């Protein structure tokens, strides 16, 4: 177990569907992240929440909608996606302190396929 749990592991959805990805961390961290991983590309930071407040939103299309109800849970709501949104979506958490050098702890990801 990584301490960061993502569900589902795999998701296939049509372009008109609405689905949600879930992430839960059991590490007592105060920051949570969504990353998109596509083949042969650097990880793309999508959203960051610190103490349940969104602190980063990297020009992500509105068809992706994050939600952070508490410091242990993070959701990514999906609607009217495009085939190019097919990727591995990774959730991560960290314990941010003034030194800001704490590593990220990742979940195993959700493999999303948009048909």
Partner 1 sequence: AQSVAQPEDQVNVAEGNPLTVKCTYSVSGNPYLFWYVQYPNRGLQFLLKYITGDNLVKGSYGFEAEFNKSQTSFHLKKPSALVSDSALYFCAVRPRNTGGFKTIFGAGTRLFVKA
The residues binding partner 1 (CB under 8 A) are: 2, 4, 6, 31, 33, 40-43, 45, 48, 50, 55-56, 90, 92, 94, 96-97, 99-109
Q: Given the complex with partner 1, which of 16 and 100 has the nearer CB atom? A: 100
Q: Given the complex with partner 1, which of 18 and 95 has the nearer CB atom? A: 95
Give CA–CA dist 112/115, Å, rounded.
10
Q: Before 74, cis peptide (omega within 30)?
A: no
Q: Given the complex with partner 1, which of 41 and 84 has the nearer CB atom? A: 41
Sign, Cα dihedral of 38, 43, 45, 49 = positive
């Amino acid at each position: 177990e990584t301490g960061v749990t993502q569900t589902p592991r795999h998701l296939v959805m049509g372009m008109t569907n609405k689905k949600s990805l879930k992430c839960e961390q059991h590490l007592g961290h105060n920051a949570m992240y969504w990353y998109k991983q596509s083949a042969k590309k650097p990880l793309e930071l999508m959203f960051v929440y610190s103490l349940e407040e969104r602190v980063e939103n990297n020009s992500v299309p509105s068809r992706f909608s994050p939600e952070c109800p508490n410091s242990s849970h993070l959701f990514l709501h999906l609607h009217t996606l495009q085939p190019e949104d097919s990727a591995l979506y990774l959730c991560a958490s960290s314990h941010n302190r003034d030194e800001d050098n704490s590593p990220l702890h990742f979940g195993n990801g959700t493999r999303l396929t948009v048909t």
